[in-house]
Structure 1
Amino acid sequence: MAKSSADDGELRRACEAAIEGTKQKIVMSIRVSKSQGVWGKSAAKLGRGGAMAKPRVLAISTKSKGQRVQAFLRVLKYSTGGVLEPAKIYKLKHLTKVEVVGNDPSGCTFTLGFDNLRSQSVAPPHWTMRNIDDRNRLVMCIFNICKDVLGRLPKVVGIDVVEMALWAKDNTPSVSNQQNAQNGSQVEKVVGVEESDMKVTVERELVSQAEEDDMEALLGTYVMGIGEAEAFSERLKRELQALEAANVHALLESEPLIGEVLQGLEAASNCVEDMDEWLGIFNVKLRHMREDIESIETRNNKLEMQSVNNKSLIDELDKLLERLRIPPEYAACLTGGSFDEARMLQNIEACEWLTSAIRGLEAPNLDPCYQNTLAVKEKRAELEKLKSTFVRRASEFLRNYFASLVDFMISDKSYFSQRGQLKRPDHADLRYKCRTYARLLQHLKSLDKNCLGPLRKAYCSSLNLLLRREAREFANELRASTKASRNPTVWLEGSTGSGQSVNNADTSNVSEAYAKMLTIFIPLLVDESSFFAHFMCFEVPALAPPGGPNLKNGSNDDDANDDDLGILDIDDNDSKNGKRTSELAALNESLRDLLDGIQEDFHAVVDWAYKIDPLRCISMHGITERYISGQKADAAGFVRLLLDALEDRISTQFARFVDEACHQIERNERNVRQLGVLSYIPRFATLATRMEQYIQGQSRDLVDQAYTKFVSIMFATLDKIAQADPKYADILLLENYAAFQNSLYDLANVVPTLAKFYHQASESYEQACTRHISVIIYYNFERLFQFARKIEDLMYTITPEEIPFQLGLSKMDLRKVVKSSLTGVDKSIMAMYKKLQKNLTSEELLPSLWDKCKKEFLDKYDSFAQLVAKIYPSENIPSVSEMRDLLASM
């Protein structure tokens, strides 16, 4: 007989290696073939060792878990390298059935049924053993494990239990041992050990030894050759009756023994009752003891928890006390320390500690449960007292410090402009000294924002005195050192005469002085605004570089970065848009206090320049516009307002000059009679030329508005003067409009506003010429052209053939008119020329006017000749060509 794979030590060690780390112990391992079962098909078709069979190893394993033992059925397969690896695992407690496949005649194929399989619709796999011994060996091992561990056996289908018992007896030697129970009874236990060291223990067989002997005796009788079943049955009945009789007899004989046994049982029952009573007493005592133990454990747990809590509380209190402790060096510095420059580092450190200490006692830095504790309240009050004391001392010091700095500078005259020397204001030393306390102001803001208001006012009040003194001294010396001859403001007055040299004085140094005033002080004021905004902790955006485009000398390089205090923004997280808007409003209000009053000195320079040369207002206006375009409406808002006010003042002064000049023009109409070209016409050309020189590409609107007002007044005044003497009105108009065009021809080509008035004068000139020429022509040829007008009027109502029969329009009347008007026509034409020449004061206009007059007369005569040819075709008059030749010869 071949050796079974259950005895293969190498196989068992391979199985143990495959499940290493699972804390399970291999009880048995055996090789099998696996084939998939199919419902409704014969298992024989799958055949042992068929194409569908796969080699597997079944292993029984156990695992101890305290007092309990768990049993498993493991399925292991061979990997590609021939190494065993786990495939499936089943718990034996779920094994419900062991069934031998009936279609396998060898009986070596069986299935295992488990009650916890998820899919019952799939047929369980078929396990095929090499022989019946291997099958019985595996099944007996499973049964023994189920008895010992689970206390029950699975259902067996297709296997004879008696046959299995006989096989187990033949293949397992028995060793009988006795075990004593608590009740004194003896239990026989059979332990089967396989010859090949199976390590499978069979503790209780399927049948007892006595039953097995009876079965052997019975089977021996059957083997001895009983021929007929009926005879054998009769024999068994007789033997059964004999046995029953023997049993009854034995029972009767054993009555005394039974009585003794009953007495023994009664005594044992009494002992058991006593034992039960004692156990009840012990149970009560144990229950009380258990309750005491639980109470002790509860108190012990509470004590341990209290100990842990006390330790945590001590640690937390130590941290809190560390927060509440005030270092004595900081307390001394905050309450009575000096603010000298050498001590500022200690003051800043004390401020930083105080700020962090106050914040540390506020939510969320401090746990809310501590907020209302007495110690925290007292310490918070103490810190608030320290804060108020320090803020009061620092504010008082800074107010006095600002005032002392400015007083020192004002008392030293070398800081300001003096006679013969313009002094550029220099605040570098002042700002350097202020920067020493910039960080202190930051901390004062974080400690108490309300304290900054009085400090800002004190700084503004002190520095305002210095700035106004500097501006006043500078402006006074600037005006004193500027030499310029004064130009009269009588620009357009007719009584001045023809000489215009009085307006040719060079006054450019006046506007240069104004530009120098702006160049020096506007960047200074912007720098001061920027420095003040940052020094006094206003949360506003950074300022643009001071000054505008094309500025002379630029801004002061020494002060270019004066607004950079080299400090960090402590309250950076508080910068919000809405807050910045309110901060900007507060800053502009403070800047008004800082710079208010300084505009008076700028106004004085503007007024001085106006008195010297009013036209310099144009240059100053352009200079101011350039500075305005270079300033943004930011923290230097007051500087923008100052420039706007200067621009308005310059515009007002220039408007005053324009009004005075217009008044001078209007005075001309009060004269008795005006002949020739009015004086303000050429003077306006001179004035416009000078104004264009002062514009230099700027202040175009200002000058255009002045032009509009000047010309409007000039033309209106001219019309009034002309209306005063209707006889010579057209002559006055055409001469002045012609003079206006001649004097402004060059400027009108480059100045759109003057070009518009040039065209207006041209139209007025043409109209005046037409009217004057018509008067002269009608004066000498009135009858001729009145006759023509009558004909033209009748042609609207009657036919041309009927006109010669109208009263006063007959052929005879025509001959009379022609004879009286055209007889000696050359003399009449010469009279027209003399009439045109007689009242004209501008001789240069005569040729053009005479040409216009001849053309107008020829046009009128041509119309008359056409009417005569149409109405009086038989009448002869001088032809148009003859009249044209006559005029050409004159």
Structure 2
Amino acid sequence: MTAIKHALQRDIFTPNDERLLGIVNVCKAGKKKKNCFLCATVTTERPVQVKVVKVKKSDKGDFYKRQQTWELRDLTVVDAKDASKENPEFDLHFEKVYRWLASSTAEKNSFISCIWKLNQRYLRKKLEFVNVNSQLLEELPKAEESVPSGESQSVAGGDEDALDDYQELSTREEQDIEGMMETCEYAISNAEAFAEKLFKELQVLDGANIQSIMASEKQVNILMQLLDEALTEVDTIEGKLSSYEEMLQSVKDQMDQISQSNRLIQISNTNNNKLLDEIQFLVNYMDLSKGHIRALQEGDLTSPKGIEACINASEALLQCMNVALRPGHDKLMAVRQQQLLFAELRDTFARRLTNHLNNVFVHQGHDQSSTLPQHAAELTLPKHSPLHRDLLRYAKLMEWLKNTHREKYEGLSRTYVDYMSRLYEREIKDFFEVAKIKMAGTSKEAKGKFGKSPDVKHTL
């Protein structure tokens, strides 16, 4: 605290012709802020003015600055909060109440005692001290109280400062004084002559001091010039620091923009990857090759190779139409167009397949090659294995038609049953006709051989 007191005296109060008499390290009660100092000061010029000054360290932390000043005559109440217990809190009542929290109770008590002494010495006003220990409010000596305000060079707590200002004489100074006293043998008998000699010696010393001051004026000017240059250099450095700070702020802003851009790029990449996955999904599961489209539109349904191509194309089409779309896919224009294309291909191929199979059924129903010849050697019904083998090639296509167009499938089934039933009826009819003929021929041969035929009735 002593070092801080000397620094404040040198940097703040000496340039303003003030003396620092009391100091306390405080912060505002109930708030977590930087500490500051409350200083009790008096002016060195008459009339003496007593002030309470709030001093705070600069934001850069390299020097102290005066923040607020109150006249002691404006102080009305000093509240120490508690006179019996140690409590670092205290209040000063100026135009409003300022609540402080000292770093220690000892500093608070010392500062309050200094305020009381300054009021007793210089102001003599009615200042109320509340919750203050009576030992802190000591009465000043009568000799000090008799000194008028503004005429005393001592200050509150002046006993301590006077001891600090007092310096013992050195050995050489003692010898000089003793020599001067020895040369004045008449000092005791003639006090006036001794005083006159002392006055002359004092004038000589004053002249020497003046000459010394004049001789050091040049050095003082040089020192002031150096100080001015130092201040100029400090201003230059502060300007550079300000420019560096602006550059750093600009770099920070640019880095923030880059960071924001990176985040946007990452979001864009993520969206692009998700979009690519969706596109790949649609392309993989909803894309029908040109060969399959050609087979569905104009594939040959008579040759084995063409039938196989149509089977593969129909299965691929059914797989594309039954794919489970993800939410939102049905709102895409391309997906809707593809679904319309699939529906058109399905209807077209179903119509082609139905027409072709209908023709096949009609052709098989009217096929005369399977009719039983009238003069057949054996009386048996014709076999339909070639017809069945021809229709087995369309089994998978019929299954596809059953899953996609139930009505067309049922219509073909009825057509097949209709024409095949006609074929079977015709074959059975022919079978009985041939059987009748053969039975009639056998009867004639038997009659010619035996002379007469027995009386037998043949019933078919």
TM-score (structure 1 length as normaliser): 0.22
Structure showing greater Rg: 1
TM-score (structure 2 length as normaliser): 0.41
Which of the pair has the greater relative contact order for Cα pairs under 8 Å at 6+ separation? 2
